[in-house]
Amino acid sequence: MSVSWPGCTESRNGCRRRVRPRRGGRNREGCEVDANQWIPRYGKTLLALAVSAIFYAVLLVVVMSVWPASNVIKVVAEIDHPDQFQVYYNNAFRKIAFEEKFSRKSDPVPAGRKTDVLIKLGDKPVHRLRLDPGDLPGTARIYHIKVASFLTKSREYGPAEIHRLFRPGNDQVALTLEKDHVAVVSTGEDPSLIAVEPLLPGNRFFPYALTLAFSTALFLFLRRFDYASFPAFYDITRKTPSLGKNITSLDGLRGLATVIIIIDHTLGKVVGIGAIGVWLFMALSGFLLARPFIKNPGNALSLSFLNHFFSRRVRRILPLYFSYLVVTLLLSKRFDEAARHFLFLQGDGVLWVINQEMVFYLMVPFIMAVNYLVFRGRPWLIATGLTLLMLAMNKWFTSDVFTLYGLRNQGLPLFAGIFLAGMISSYLYYGVYERSRFYRERHAQVSSIFAWAGLILLIAFFLGTTGTLWGKEGQGAYYGVIYWRWYGVAAAVFIFLLIGSDNTFLDRMLSIWPLRAVGLVSFSMYVLHPVIIDTIRGAVSHYTGVVTPGIVTFLLTMTLGYLVACVTYTFVERPFTR
């Protein structure tokens, strides 16, 4: 049989025919196939069409919210008392019609004199507009209004048009058309006039045409996009670890931990559940970093291996981390904070975990050197020694001894006990259990027991990490934070059970494609998701005036966060790790 890329062909008796792929990345004969062939041609078109349609709807709202816009409104008016004019502006979609933060005031207007009153808006949308001719009761005569814009044709309105376009904002205001002006008489404070239609109508076809052009360009791009070779998609099934084969369930576990953290930050009813996501990351880090030293204890004294070890860790973390700091801190001129973050002296928000990980990496060579020189690489003795070290650090290595600054401007202890628990789990599995006679003879029979135990523990994580799920409030409800030492050990035990449940339902459950896809870009999603959340909430509030529901914020954060993370993984993370 001969195989070509893309697609597979087979030869039988000198005849060649194309083999249609079935599920996954191989056909029934085992030929590797191009991922583009997993979905029929029309499927790729429908996907591009669906994404472009959603993009069109969202972009149309944005375009119709920002265009047309006015930079200056000039009102020729005369009032019988000194006061200031004020304009409230809004787009067509915001729930609350007029708010103080979306308004501009003129300079003081003198009494008894016809005056050109300028209200500088700075290119703000005026689909809905409210004009307040002062704050105090009295009479205002409006002769002329000009709405100026750089984005469309400016409009001017005389008395008759002003009388037609505006209505009184409340019962204490009377609007009367006179010969050369409109008289606004108010018997109460805060008189207002509300426009009944846009003062800058613009070309009604322009927003649709502009949006359609961008959406069509996106459709054509997605229709021709080579998903199979895009690194963030290609690496889901083809990435190669530094040691041994790739364990797909651990990729899925990274994805699950990321999802748990984002759930914590978006769904208010489960605040605190993200702790177990972080502990899983830390325990998994210890588990995987110990693995090469278990397979070859001599690595602890190999300068070339240690150089490769640190180089790989630095190239994995620093490019994205430093890029994030440049964009969020340096470009906003927060130089002192940026310097402390670059030097790992501070870790605001989610960045506190990175400082912890950097300390963990520095601990590894010393721990492994002791394991090799003192315990001679014997797994049982090493696991015992690491357990004693973990217990000692959990009890005595508190924030009074060593503090890392960050999170919410607070001193944090070093959570090394969780990292060490992951190492212990790795030594017990690869150094003890996998080398045992029991593993060789009975592992296939007990792997399902591991799977059920792991599933029970996973359910316990979801139900028992935070009391807010059960109506409790305050810091005392965050059990995963209060009892982090025990939860860290539980996270390491779960990783042991997951590795031991290979080819079971738990292994398959955590190896599903969506979790592995998120797991591949989990570092980018972890670092960037707070910015994504703030952007989503801010944009929805700005354009609609609506507070985004938690479940909507979660779904949007997962979608947009994943897409952004795919880009940063491909162009920031991956080039440095290859």
Tens of pLDDT along 466-487? 988 888 888 788 999 999 999 9
Are 105 and 85 in contact by the 8 Å Cβ rule? The answer is yes
Neighbours of 435 (CB within 10 A): 12
Give the start-end residues of each E strand in 163-275: 166-168, 173-177, 182-186, 193-195
Q: How confident is the model at residue 243 (pLDDT cuts 50, 70, 90)?
A: low
Mean pLDDT of the region 288-307: 93
Share of the chain above pLDDT 70, in %: 92
Residue 456 main-chain phi, psi, to 5 deg: -60, -45
Its pTM stands at: 0.87
Mean pLDDT of the region 521-536: 96
Mean pLDDT of the region 222-235: 90
Residues 6+ apart with CB under 8 A from 390: 416, 417, 420, 421, 424
Mean pLDDT of the chain: 89
Q: CA 122 to CA 323: how far, in whole Å?
A: 32
Are 147 and 199 in contact by the 8 Å Cβ rule? The answer is yes
pLDDT at 400: 86
pLDDT at 19: 41
pLDDT at 245: 66
Residue owning tokens 């994995």: 316
1-32 per-position pLDDT tens digit: 333 333 333 343 444 444 444 444 444 444 44
Helices (H), 267-299: 274-295
Identify the three-state secondary structure at position 392: helix
Mean pLDDT of the region 435-459: 94
Q: CA 530 to CA 537: how far, in whole Å?
A: 11
Q: CA 519 to CA 146: how far, in whole Å?
A: 56
Are 155 and 200 in contact by the 8 Å Cβ rule? The answer is yes
Q: CA 390 to CA 304: how far, in whole Å?
A: 28
540-555 per-position pLDDT tens digit: 998 888 889 999 999 9
Where along the chain do its domains lie?
1-38, 41-63+206-225, 69-195, 232-577
Are 5 and 32 in contact by the 8 Å Cβ rule? The answer is yes
Mean pLDDT of the region 404-409: 87
Residue 333 pLDDT > 60: yes
pLDDT at 244: 61
179-222 per-position pLDDT tens digit: 899 999 999 999 999 999 988 887 888 899 999 999 999 999 99
Residues 6+ apart with CB under 8 A from 458: 494
Helix and strand element counts for the chain (H, E): 19, 16
Residue 343 pLDDT > 60: yes
Q: CA-CA distances (angstroms) from residue 478 to 237, 274, 335, 457?
A: 36, 10, 34, 18
Mean pLDDT of the region 270-290: 95
pLDDT at 317: 94
Dihedral, 326, 338, 318, 571 alpha carbons, nearest 10:
-10
Q: For the CA atoms of the chain, what is the radius of gyration? A: 32
Identify the three-state secondary structure at position 223: helix
Mean pLDDT of the region 490-511: 96
* CATH 2.60.60, applies to 69-195: yes
If phi > 0 it is left, if psi is from -120 to 50 it is alpha, else beta; for residue 409 that is: left
- Kindly provide the b/e burial profile for residues 6-33, where b requires at least 16 CB atoms within 10 angstroms of the residue's own CB: ebbeeeeeeeeeebebeeeeebeeebeb
> Of 117, 98, 97, which is closest to residue 107 (Cα–Cα)?
117
Q: CA 130 to CA 90: how far, in whole Å?
A: 9
Give the start-end residues of each E strand in 208-357: 346-348
Q: CA 416 to CA 492: how far, in whole Å?
A: 13
Residues 6+ apart with CB under 8 A from 55: 214, 215, 218
Helices (H), 501-573: 505-509, 513-520, 522-544, 550-568
Q: CA-CA distances (angstroms) from residue 97 to 94, 192, 445, 470?
A: 6, 13, 66, 38
pLDDT at 237: 82
